[in-house]
Amino acid sequence: MEKRNYYDETDILTNGTCNYFSNLGGGGNFLHMHRQIEIMFSVRGDLFVTLGEKRYPMSTGDFVIIKPFELHTFESKKKLSNRFVSPIFPDIVSERIANRLRESVICHADGNEWGEIVSLYKTFKDMSPKNRMLYFEMIENIVMDAISLKAPEERDDLSDKIIDYITENASSPLTLDSVAAACCTNRCTVSKIINTRCNQNFNSYLNRVRISRFLQNYIEKHPSNLETAAQEAGFQSSRTFYRAFFDEFKMTPKQYIEKLSESEQFNRK
C-alpha cells in the first residue's frame, strides 16, 4: 500500500483524513468511528458532516469537534474548490479534550479559528515528532476555547433520561415498555422522543447503539469472534445483528472489519 501522510499538501487540497475512508467505501462515504477526537475545519466551500443519524451542512470557516466513538462521515462535492482539514488527535491530547466534551460540537464561523489551523498546518507541515505534538497542542487550545464558548443547548430532562438509559443498558433486552417503566413515562412518549430526537424508530435506534458498542469493542479489543462480540453488545441473535449491520452499512460485518483493518494499517504507516 502506498505510504502517505495525512497532513501533507495533497490532503488539504481534497478532504483530509476521510478521503481515505471514502475510498475504502467503494466511492461512497465510509461511516466509521475511532477512539480519538477528530476535528474538521471547512477551509473553503460547502460540505456536510453526518453525526449518528443527523446530517449537518457546513460552510467556510465552520468546524466540528467529534467525540470518541461517534459514528460519522463527511461529504463534499468532490471539487478542488471544496477544501477541509480533518486531523485526528493523538491519544494523550484526545483524552484531555474528551474530558471536556460531552457531545460532538458544531461551531459556525464567528472568528478566524480555521485560518489559524491552516497557518499552523503550513508552519508545522514537516511534522517531526516534536513538531507534530506541538502542532496538536496548539490546535488543542483553539478547540478548548471553542468548547468553552459554545452555549449549552437547553436540556430536556426526560429526553436525556431516556437516551441515557438506552445507551447505558443497550446490552440488556430492552423494549418500549421496559424503557418507559424505567423512566417513569409511557411507551408513546418514549417512541415520540426517539423519533424526534434521533430521527429513527425505537428498534432502529437501539440497533444503532448496539452496533456502535460492537464497533467500539472491536476497536479497543479486536475480538476474534464477531458474533460473540455482537451478543455482548446486546444483540439477541446473529440474524438480527447481521440484518441490522447490513441495513446500516450496506456491507457485512466481516467486510466492514476488513476495511477498518486496512485503514488501521494505513494509519500505522
Query: From first to last of its 269 residues, what are the pLDDT tens digits of the chain?
Result: 333 333 333 333 333 334 333 333 333 456 778 788 888 877 777 778 888 767 788 887 788 889 888 888 877 665 556 666 777 788 888 888 888 887 888 887 665 565 666 666 666 656 666 677 777 787 888 888 888 877 555 566 898 899 889 989 999 999 999 999 999 999 999 999 998 877 789 999 999 899 989 988 888 888 889 999 999 999 999 999 999 999 888 889 998 888 777 655 444 44
- Give the pLDDT confidence score for residue 49 in this predicted structure: 84
Residues 6+ apart with CB under 8 A from 159: 193, 197
pLDDT (0 to 100) of residue 252:
92
d(CA 254, CA 223): 12
Q: Is 181 helix (H, G, I), strand (E, B) or coil?
A: helix
Q: Quick check: 85 and 121 in contact, CB under 8 A?
A: yes
Q: What is the separation of C-alpha 3 from the centre of its chain, rounded to a whole number of angstroms?
A: 25
